[in-house]
Amino acid sequence: MRLRRVGPLAVRCVAVPGHHRRPGGMMPVVRPLLTPGEVAEATDDPLLRWASQVLTPSYPRSGGSAWRLGGVVAVVAPGLFRRDRLVLGGTDLDTASARTLFRQLGQRAGPAFRLTASEGLAELLLAADDHRGRLVSWGWMDIAAPQPGAPGAGSVRWLSAGELPEAAELLRRANPDSWLWPGDPAATRWAGRWDAGGRLVAVGADSWPAPGVSLIAGVATCPTARGRGLGGAVTGFLRDALLREGTAALMVDSTNTTAIRVYERLGFRYRRLASIEPAPVPAGPAGRTGTSSSTGSS
């Protein structure tokens, strides 16, 4: 049997025991996907296509790989959105294939890599494998179709390099736990909105770009300017810019219903995701352990 290697992981391209044979007598085979294009051909899931950026030459971390078993696709993504991830899903998902890839790739990648999948699939795998980790939930939102212009987006513009320190100061005041900051190479560009007095009052960034899918992150509004739709205007500006290149996506705390409503008005669709943490997570905002809904734990 020939061993195919992609990054540090190796999986034998052989039939998987326990799977039913397909018509003609063939059983599913674990196969490597070598490019983002191959991932896109295997699935139309924006989350997996976004994770496939680890296969591009420009991705800053080595060791990324992607695999397919039947209708299930898995991407081993080191350092993606601040985490080492095993992203799992697919257009034609079957439990047996998902469980096989989760076990094989999880064992080879190591305990630092956490599963990222739909909440339902993560719950199933957590129960089926008697895993000792904890389930952590949050929201993924994406949009691919052009939308009407967002209110106030016309007053938003891209920031120059000289304006990034002001953006960083705004984030320190408005969102000190942000996962993205000016100067971070994960951010392709920053956008902002100023008030009539020339003060920067809202920011957000185009970040972690994959072929055809980019993430909106680092959105923040000055505390004294909230409730005026400024964060929505920045998000709408970023949405329109990213839609010209493919799909726009973002992550959101599943308990942040105000932000979710804003993003839904901008046309984003909500999808509940979850990770399996390799160890217990801190108590959430309500003091619960193991079921946190913060993107800070995603």
CATH of the domain at 221: 3.40.630.30
Q: Is residue 144 part of a domain?
A: no
The pLDDT tens digits for 110-133 are 888 999 999 999 999 988 765 667
For range 206-217, the mean pLDDT: 96
Distance CA 229, CA 226 (A): 7
Same domain flag for 122 and 167 = no
Burial of 228 (0-12, 13-18, 19+ CB in 10 A): middle
**The token pair that represents 124 in the structure block:** 């199933």
Q: Is residue 259 part of a domain?
A: yes
Same domain flag for 194 and 81 = no
Same domain flag for 159 and 241 = yes
Task: Please give the tally of structural domains in the chain.
Answer: 2
Q: Is residue 41 part of a domain?
A: yes
Mean pLDDT for the chain overall? 86
Q: What is the pLDDT of residue 279?
A: 53
Q: Is residue 69 part of a domain?
A: yes
Q: Is residue 285 part of a domain?
A: no
**Nearest residue to 103 (alpha-carbon basis) of 90, 86, 120, 91:** 86
pLDDT band at 219 (very low <50, low <70, confident <90, very high): very high
For residue 38, what are the domain limits? 3-131
The pLDDT tens digits for 137-195 are 999 999 999 888 889 999 999 999 999 999 999 999 999 999 999 999 999 999 999 99
Least confident of 21-30, 90-99, 188-197: 21-30
Same domain flag for 229 and 169 = yes
Same domain flag for 119 and 166 = no
Q: Is residue 143 part of a domain?
A: no
Same domain flag for 115 and 196 = no
- Give the dihedral of Cα atoms 256, 258, 263, 266; nearest 10 deg: 180
pLDDT band at 289 (very low <50, low <70, confident <90, very high): very low
